[in-house]
Amino acid sequence: DTAVSQTPKYLVTQMGNDKSIKCEQNLGHDTMYWYKQDSKKFLKIMFSYNNKELIINETVPNRFSPKSPDKAHLNLHINSLELGDSAVYFCASRYRENTEAFFGQGTRLTVV
């Protein structure tokens, strides 16, 4: 069983569209994250939820909206996609602070 799973794995879409990426973890962790890895391979934290509560919200455009229906799921909705949103988006979870983070396989988003 995959511990942290994201869908879709690949997403190609046109500018201006709205898209969602889903993430689920079966590790029983309380904390989940969204990271963005751009073309320079720099991995930046975007959001974090702890037990469905938003605890980290980095400087991210309002077009990005995370949603956590329960502590096993963290979805990312992106409105009005722009070329600069093209990147790999990783979901991650961890048991508690200062422990290992487990990553999903990533969603490679290409905006054309």
Partner 1 sequence: RKEVEQDPGPFNVPEGATVAFNCTYSNSASQSFFWYRQDCRKEPKLLMSVYSSGNEDGRFTAQLNRASQYISLLIRDSKLSDSATYLCVVTPYTGGFKTIFGAGTRLFVKA
Chain residues in the site for partner 1 (CB under 8 A): 31, 35, 40-45, 48, 50, 55-56, 90, 97-98, 100-101, 103-106
Comparison of 57 and 80: residue with beta carbon closer to partner 1: 57
Query: Do 65 and 5 contact (CB within 8 A), yes or no?
Result: no
**Of residues 15 and 54, the one with the C-beta less far from partner 1:** 54
Q: In angstroms, what is the minimal distance from the CB of 42 to partner 1?
A: 5
CB of 6 to partner 1, least distance (A): 9
> Whole-angstrom Cα distance, residue 61 to residue 79?
10
Helix (H, G, I), strand (E, B) or coil at 83: helix
Shortest Å, Cβ 20 to partner 1:
20
Residue 105 or 110: the one with the smaller Cβ distance to partner 1 is 105
Q: Where are the beta strands (DSSP E) in 14-83?
A: 19-25, 31-37, 43-50, 53-57, 64-70, 73-78
- Sign, CA dihedral 91-95-99-100, equals negative
Round to whole Å and give the CA distance between 52 and 31.
8
Q: How far is the CB of 84 from partner 1 (least distance, A)?
A: 18
Indicate the residue among 18 and 54 with the shorter CB distance to partner 1.
54
